[in-house]
């Protein structure tokens, strides 16, 4: 008889749902940037376009120049979605634990980069993009969820078993 996981499946479903929402937001931003269309925006109605058309909306990654940040956000959310779904489908607690480290690290980087981009939008560009802000909130929630999940894992009593193997805290 196997013991129930130390962390309820609600975390995995929350991470999956937030990753889908984030991919939808980032995908919309990338599509608008690629198609050169105006996004519906709050305030004066042009904040999103100012941010999406700014020099900070692109990065250079090695041989690839002018990679849209929105595309990187979209791909990041897809990776997080894949990891969350793999955690949902993992047969053992050990498998879920192994997937949690990369999920946490990617969401930490995403939340930090999103915070930086919010600074750039407000201070350097002087604009507010509700789409970008929403994406930053979703990424921060993913990081928060992953952190709470890790804390709950640490505080949950668990013993090594043939199914879970040695207890490894992430």
CATH number for the domain harbouring residue 69: 1.20.1440.130
133 belongs to a structural domain: yes
Q: Is the pLDDT of residue 152 over 60?
A: yes
The boundaries of the domain holding residue 150 are 18-155
Q: Is the pLDDT of residue 4 over 50?
A: no
HEC profile of 133-148:
HHHHHHHHHHHHHHHH
Using one digit for the tens of pLDDT, what is the confidence trace for 48-105? 888 888 888 888 888 888 899 999 999 999 999 999 999 988 888 888 889 999 999 9
166 belongs to a structural domain: no
Q: Is the pLDDT of residue 8 over 70?
A: no
pLDDT at 52: 81
User: Residues 6 or more apart from 22 whose CB is under 8 A from it?
Assistant: 73, 77, 80, 135, 138, 139, 142
146 belongs to a structural domain: yes
Who wins on pLDDT, 59 or 160?
A: 59
Domain tally, the chain? 1
Using one digit for the tens of pLDDT, what is the confidence trace for 18-40? 999 999 999 999 998 888 887 78
Q: Which of 139, 140, 20, 156 is nearest to 96 (CA)?
A: 156
Using one digit for the tens of pLDDT, what is the confidence trace for 88-103? 888 888 888 899 999 9
82 belongs to a structural domain: yes
Who wins on pLDDT, 1 or 96?
A: 96
- Rounded to the nearest integer, the mean pLDDT of the chain is 85
pLDDT at 5: 47
4 belongs to a structural domain: no
pLDDT at 158: 56
108 belongs to a structural domain: yes
pLDDT at 37: 82
Rounded to two decimals, what is the model's pTM?
0.83
Tokens matching residue 49: 């376009």
Longest alpha-carbon distance in the chain: 61
141 belongs to a structural domain: yes
């Amino acid at each position: 008889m196997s013991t129930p996981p130390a962390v309820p499946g609600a975390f995995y479903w929350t991470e999956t749902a937030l990753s889908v929402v984030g991919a939808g937001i980032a995908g919309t931003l990338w599509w608008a940037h690629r198609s050169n269309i105006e996004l519906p925006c709050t305030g004066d109605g042009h904040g999103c376009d100012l941010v999406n058309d700014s020099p900070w909306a692109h990065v250079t990654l090695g041989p690839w120049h002018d990679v849209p940040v929105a595309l990187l956000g979209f791909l990041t959310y897809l990776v997080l979605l894949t990891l969350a779904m793999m955690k949902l489908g993992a047969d053992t607690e050990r498998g879920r634990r192994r997937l949690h480290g990369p999920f946490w690290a990617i969401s930490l980087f995403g939340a930090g980069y999103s915070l930086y981009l919010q600074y750039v939008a407000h201070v350097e560009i002087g604009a507010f993009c509700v789409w970008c802000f929403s994406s930053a909130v979703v990424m921060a929630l993913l990081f928060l969820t992953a952190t709470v999940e890790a804390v709950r894992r640490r505080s949950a009593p668990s013993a090594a078993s043939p199914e879970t193997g040695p207890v490894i805290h992430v």
